[in-house]
Amino acid sequence: MLTRREFGRATVGGLAFAGLKPWVRGDADSAAALYSAAFVLDCNTLSSVGQTPPADQKDLVKDIRESGVTVVKCTLGGGNGKFEETVADIGALEQLIEAWPNDLMAVRTATDMGRAQQERKLGFIYSFEAEAMLEGKLERIDMFRHLGVRVMQLTYNRRSPFGVGCLDGDSEGLTELGRKAIAKMNEIGVAVDLSHSNTETTREGIAASTKPVIFSHTGCRAVYQHPRSKEDRDMKALADNGGVMGIYMLPFLTASPKQPMLEDYLRHMEHALNVCGEDHVGVGSDVPFGKIDTPDLDALRKEVDERKAAGISAPGEDRPPYIPDLNTPRKMEIIADALLKRGYSSGAVAKVLGLNFRRVFTEIWM
């Protein structure tokens, strides 16, 4: 198995064979050239995408085609989906992929990630953000893996049979059942995602895992204090164990009522790069994939109200979940351009765009 550095050299080096010129400061075309050749992975978007109405699927595929994104980690079962709802959600995504075979595919192996890029399709990594569908049953981890799910969490925002969510304080952490769940995920090749866990569950989860774990979508508490973001100590522990953290594009990047902008996003991204190193940071946007217009914003506000009523919303969910100057299917290209302009190398930017998550999923799934 390749080490992290060997993997990075091999995959980034492949950019040269794709005709990508070395980046030169001030070269306006370099970000576009890097992005067109890059493996691009958004580690949290297109939640329950299989539920897209047939009338809207053509526009969805158009956005996907224009985005330049190679693979996404798609949430199934929502924030508190029960067993039957989650199975139906998986079935709906299978139907969507079957309806658009030239554009979409499921990702279940490391090889599938490369195939998605080669065939110019969008690959879906099936994942859970919550644990409700497991109902505290370890055997469900096996069952859902056989249904294609490759990333699972121990908690959503609240306490679960496996650990404590980020909104229930930090006095308790991983449960004994949670330790068994991590062992099972390690054994069968399911990525442990601690994005929504509280600090103690996060720390104990990293320590308990024999494989790297991920924070698919989070922020940095040192930049803005919020329970959904992670502390430097835990970010460093994640990196030391080979994991990767994705920076989200949620309102939690800043204090209310300010709507976060690209500059706010970059503060979190650069802090993560400073703490974790360039081999351990990526993007997990957790926002809508395409461009959001005014009617969509109204729908997003309604969704925020529904989450509050269900008791699963986090502090600061009083603004629409998006960044206005990243409001495009090509948001990842804008991030690449911004990082290049700040002096990051093309190799480092390619890792952030997707190679880091590709490497860690390859390690975990094998």
Q: How far is the C-alpha of 301 from the C-alpha of 264, rounded, in Å? A: 21
Written as tens digits, the pLDDT of the chain (366 aa) is: 434 434 444 444 444 323 333 334 445 468 999 999 999 999 999 999 999 999 999 999 999 999 999 999 999 999 889 999 999 999 999 999 999 999 999 999 999 999 999 999 999 999 999 999 999 999 999 999 999 999 999 999 999 999 999 999 988 999 999 999 999 999 999 999 999 999 999 999 999 999 999 999 999 999 999 999 999 999 999 999 999 999 999 999 999 999 999 999 999 999 999 999 999 999 999 999 999 887 677 777 787 778 777 777 777 788 888 999 999 999 999 999 999 999 999 999 999 999 999 999 999 998
**Residue 185 C-alpha from the chain's centroid:** 18
The upper half-sphere exposure of residue 243, i.e. CA atoms within 13 Å in the direction of its Cβ, equals 31
**Can you give the pTM of this predicted structure?**
0.91
- Do residues 252 and 314 make contact, with C-beta atoms less than 8 angstroms apart? yes
Helix axes 139-146, 176-188, angle to 10 degrees: 30
Nearest to 330 by CA among 348, 353, 346, 351: 353
Q: Which domain holds residue 207?
A: 4-365
281 is written with which tokens? 């940071």
Say which CATH number the domain at 274 has. 3.20.20.140
110 is written with which tokens? 């490391």
- What's the total number of domains in the chain? 1
Nearest to 48 by CA among 75, 70, 25, 66: 75
